[in-house]
Amino acid sequence: MSLRGTTADGKPLRDPGPEIEPASTHPGRPLLTLRAAVILSTALVIGIGAGVLGYLAGMRPAEAILTGGGTAAGAVTLLHALIA
């Protein structure tokens, strides 16, 4: 618990908190690295493919979505280990 004081004119003190730089201060820095973008996009394609194949094989839509999501998660792990 912390107590907050007041300034000489009676206004409460305000803690400015940590300084956060806006994203525009680093214009050359990408949001994702090329490696991360390749891994995530490839895993997305693999997951969609698995979900579509599951649906076409007779799964209910919810089961196909869960299958695709699980496959995408496993693909991210595998691709992370394979792509150096």
Report yes or no: 4 and 12 within 8 Å, Cβ to Cβ: yes
For the chain, percent helix, then strand, then coil, each to nearest 5? 55, 0, 40
Whole-structure pTM over 0.85, yes or no? no
Q: Give first-to-last CA distance, the chain, whole Å.
A: 47
* Residue 77 · residue 47 · CB < 8 Å: no
Q: Residue ranges of the domains in the chain? A: 31-82
Q: State how far the Cα of 5 lies from the Cα of 79, in Å rounded to an integer.
A: 54
Sequential pLDDT tens for the chain (84 residues): 555 667 777 776 666 567 766 656 667 888 999 999 999 999 999 999 999 999 999 999 999 999 999 999 999 999 999 998
